Structure 1
């Protein structure tokens, strides 16, 4: 036995934590506009994916720096996400970036595959999600060359905080 529980006859579907992305925009920096747009985005995200708030582990909301009137996470609380860990922050400023934008990354415990997840982009945020096939590929040789300079042993978790070779 490998220790892994397989989904199948007699077993429930394997539950994994999946990420759901969403984004929307508002026309003004007001509490009402931010909460209304965020509730709309979350409601559609919930309906499109069949999300039960009990299965939401956490959500990370960001806004562009021009939105400061309220926390978009308040909209999640208004929709009943009382026990999920919620956090807000500002999106990095990139020249030509989309203004007045609210984004979310929801960590959701589900039996769905990553291909079954529906990401929600509304209003002007629809232009944020390019077709996945149009993303540039990185040559495997370039990835291998970069990996040669990494000491993977140094990346392992060390609960004592001591250097690996001094344990």
Structure 2
């Protein structure tokens, strides 16, 4: 599934967006930034979280950190990261390629306000070598995401 489901999702809902396959690992924020030639902050990492009995996806800028207090307040329970096997089983995407497109299981998607600092961002596209360039607002619109404020920037510990 994975990359193919993302390609099918984008073909149906956003045919103007092209999947960028680097042919090299984009599995981490640093690798993706290097492969795409952008600053790490512009990588839109997708976090797979369990908050209480719900699994949710949160897209945030690459250099942001999840703030547990803010996340608990926004999501209603303390979040915890899912394990790699659970992530792939639920999303259909391998860790390093997780994105909010073409999911195996419908999930609530949230976009952290940290993404709004950029004109375009680069979420993964279902594989460890693929990405897509998209505006943050379009990312939220295509995935039905709600905007939330649950991250902190690493620089000064200031909210995103």
- Indicate the structure (1 or 2) with the bigger Cα radius of gyration: 1
Q: TM-score band, normalised by the shorter chain?
A: under 0.3
Give TM-score, length-normalised by structure 1: 0.24
